Structure 1
Amino acid sequence: MHSTTAAIIEGPGAPFTFAEVVLDEPRKDEVLVRMVAAGLCHSDLNVQAGRMPFPLPGVIGHEGAGIVERVGASVTKVRPGDKVLLSFTSCEHCTSCRNGHPAYCDTWLPRNVTGGKRRDGSSPITREGVPVGGHFFGQSSFAEAAVVDARSVVKVDPEADLTVLAPLGCGVQTGVGTVWNVLAPRPGESLAVFGAGAVGLSAIMAAAALPSGDIIAIDRVPSRLELALELGARHTINTTEVDPATALAEITGGRGVDNAVDTTAIPALLRTAVDTLSTGGACAVVGVAPPGVDVALDMHDLLLGRRVLGVTLGDGEPETLLPRMATLHRRGKLPLEKLIKHYKFRDLNTAAREMHDGATIKPVMLF
């Protein structure tokens, strides 16, 4: 058993509170990780607000990075002392997992979000002898240490800066993977990114690393649009000043954009993203809306070969994608530092408030 401090959400809408918890010893397919850093993601805020079904009280956090302390008997891919990034988990055995698409695992939701437990129904976390929700994305990394599903663990270079690379596990992986794995733009094709938060800016960086055509950032916050230009966007559209459909038509000469990413989960903006596609264009939907939110599309326009693609975590395979992104960062091609603001772990509530208010793009908690 291992005692540690964790940030607990007692119920929907409650702040993070800090308490001593006890972690199980890692089972044969688990790893005990001492946290160095953990990114804060909008999915965490959605759980805190009660918009995502996770059992509370519980410990969340799903962009962890740390040092391996102990490994289970069946774990061979890491050993104590290794630096690791943490991402989502999956079953490894279903058709999607075997075909290299673990983000579409048959059991993805209960394993990562809704269950709050291991596969056998137990939680690796207890408080005063009572189990609390854990195993969030296979990790629950808002704690000084975590018992992590081995499928969530990705080894990185010993020289890797975990305080910068932590967000690769979810937000950055989502933006980069959506461009590289799903849209896969051909040389010279254009890309419009709706929403210049961490995911949208990651998509822009991914496109800038390719021989892309016009990269267009759409947001309402001037500072984020300025940052988008630094990261590779060639045009920006401020939705408080101009109609995005009109502006996109002007930029593309009326042809429409070849590819679009919607990170906003705002139905009107998603409709605009689809309506402004070129013939044969594709729109990737990555923004997480509450269940039951509908969007109306012109069915006739879809006959122009337009595609609307729902995407989870960039359709990424973490063991492959995360080290590649870490290498790009080391080479200066993925300047994550420009997205990140560091906070002490005990300042998690401040980070959540500033992220919710838009003052911070990607908070990273330091332990």
Structure 2
Amino acid sequence: MRATAAIFERSLVSLSRYPKLKLAKIELDEPQEYEVLVKISSCGICGTDHEVLNGDLPTGKPCVLGHEGAGIIEAIGSKVSQFKIGDRVLISFPSCGKCRNCLRDQPRYCELAGPLSFGFQRLDGSHAIKLANGDKLYGNFFQQSSWSTHAITLERNLIKVPDSIDLDLMGPLGCSITTGAGAVFNELQPEAGSSIAIFGGGSTGLAAVMAAVVRECETIIVVDPNSNRLKLAKKLGATHVFKSEKEAIAAKIRLLTKNRLDYSLDCTLGGKMVPAAMESLGILGVCGMVGGGSPLHSFKLNHADTLYGKRLIGIVGGGGKTPNAHQQIMQLHEQGKFPLEKLVKFYPFKKINDAIRDSFSGKVVKPILKMN
């Protein structure tokens, strides 16, 4: 069938020059056995999209990005059993369902997560989309490529969205929101009355703030260079905010917490704040690292900051199980305990370049494209 998608053709030279995507007609395959065709209603713009646009993550070109899609199922493959035409769904992380980690009920750590997310093709090497003139087009980004009016995705990617929830608001649960909130809920699991420092005030970091509030953390610290995001962090429940990203930030946090910071969470791309996050911890503290980055990114830790029972754990997609992790956040949102609407700004699909510019500049925390 034919659809309209945002096509990315060139690399971004620097953050001061934004990419220009163009809308074009594409052709989609029929769904394979375990695939689903979703009419995309909305899709978020995420940090991982940024990394592809920046050239930090490789891709074939031209390609279609987008991995925080939400919409309504229009067709299903012959072996799809958990969903039906007309279901309202959000599209999350892909997994194979067959490797040892998937069989351990740890789909975020699927052994094929790399090729499924960044291979820009199906695992069998075929492509779900092509340009309307028949030319090759790289899709299957996170097995969805949802910067499009329609997307082919895997049944295992999908989570049902209740009729009582705004479907267009749920797409970011597919990646950034679940990544931040899930890191707190599923991996760090802070106790009531504990302290946590969150490095990065984007959508992932602010989702972590909301989760820390739900977990009843007594001290919630947010570090970010953007004053507006720090103000929003305070409104969402942060007890303290710091604008500095320099080395002195760890000393400030240690002074504030009397060297007893229980948890820290790095939500910056490339893990650039991990050293400060580790240095901020008290004895037996735990640091989580969720920010993605180029395979060439690295950081250094002082030996003393790895002693005294401190732990550093890498967290993919917030951990947890699909769809449990997403359903938990949706339930909290319905209860008014997870005000996701405070993070977002909607853009019509034809304004995708404006949305990307505002996302890169930090003007908007979480842009969401509305396809209709």
TM-score, length-scaled by structure 2: 0.94
Give the drift of 1:205. 0.3
Q: Determine if contact 2:161/2:167 at 8 Å carries over to the other structure.
A: no
What residue in structure 2 maps to residue 292 of structure 1? 296
Unaligned runs of 5+ in 1: none
Structure 1's 268 and 92: CA in aligned 2 closer, same or farther, altered over 3 A? closer
Distance 2:130 2:122 in 1: 13
What residue in structure 1 maps to residue 106 of structure 2? 101
What residue in structure 2 maps to residue 10 of structure 1? 9
Unaligned runs of 5+ in 2: 13-18
Matched, 1:335 2:304: no
Matched, 1:82 2:87: yes
Runs of 4+ in 1 over 6 A off after TM superposition: none
Distance 2:268 2:3 in 1: 36
Structure 1's 279 and 235: CA in aligned 2 closer, same or farther, altered over 3 A? same
Give the drift of 1:49. 1.8
TM-score, length-scaled by structure 1: 0.96
The partner residue of 1:38 within 43, 46, 57 is 43
Give the drift of 1:15. 2.1
Distance 1:168 1:265 in 2: 18
Distance 2:33 2:263 in 1: 44
Structure 1's 300 and 246: CA in aligned 2 closer, same or farther, altered over 3 A? closer
The secondary structure found in structure 1 opposite 2:241 is: strand
What residue in structure 1 maps to residue 72 of structure 2? 67
Matched, 1:262 2:261: no
Q: Deviations over 1:88-146 (max 9, x none)?
A: 11110111111121111111000111x11111111010111123111111111000001
The secondary structure found in structure 1 opposite 2:282 is: strand
Distance 2:150 2:359 in 1: 24
Matched, 1:280 2:284: yes
Give the drift of 1:266. 6.1
What residue in structure 1 maps to residue 189 of structure 2? 184
Q: Determine if contact 1:15/1:48 at 8 Å carries over to the other structure.
A: no
Matched, 1:252 2:257: yes
Give the drift of 1:56. 1.7
Distance 1:294 1:33 in 2: 38
More deviation, 307-316/267-276: 267-276
Give the drift of 1:225. 0.9
The code of the aligned residue for 1:172 comes to I
The secondary structure found in structure 2 opposite 1:74 is: coil
What residue in structure 1 maps to residue 330 of structure 2? 326
The secondary structure found in structure 2 opposite 1:341 is: strand
Q: Determine if contact 1:173/1:316 at 8 Å carries over to the other structure.
A: no
Structure 1's 67 and 317: CA in aligned 2 closer, same or farther, altered over 3 A? same
Q: Determine if contact 1:82/1:158 at 8 Å carries over to the other structure.
A: no
The code of the aligned residue for 2:31 comes to P
The code of the aligned residue for 1:169 comes to G
Matches within 5 A, 1:118-267: 118-127=122-131, 128-239=133-244, 243-253=248-258, 255-265=259-269
Distance 1:363 1:334 in 2: 18
More deviation, 294-303/308-317: 294-303
Distance 1:337 1:237 in 2: 24
Distance 2:10 2:154 in 1: 25
Q: Deviations over 1:231-289 (max 9, x none)?
A: 11111112179931232122112x23110011124666321110111111011111223
State the identity %: 38
The partner residue of 2:317 within 307, 313, 320 is 313
Q: How many residues align?
A: 364
The code of the aligned residue for 1:4 comes to A
More deviation, 30-39/93-102: 93-102
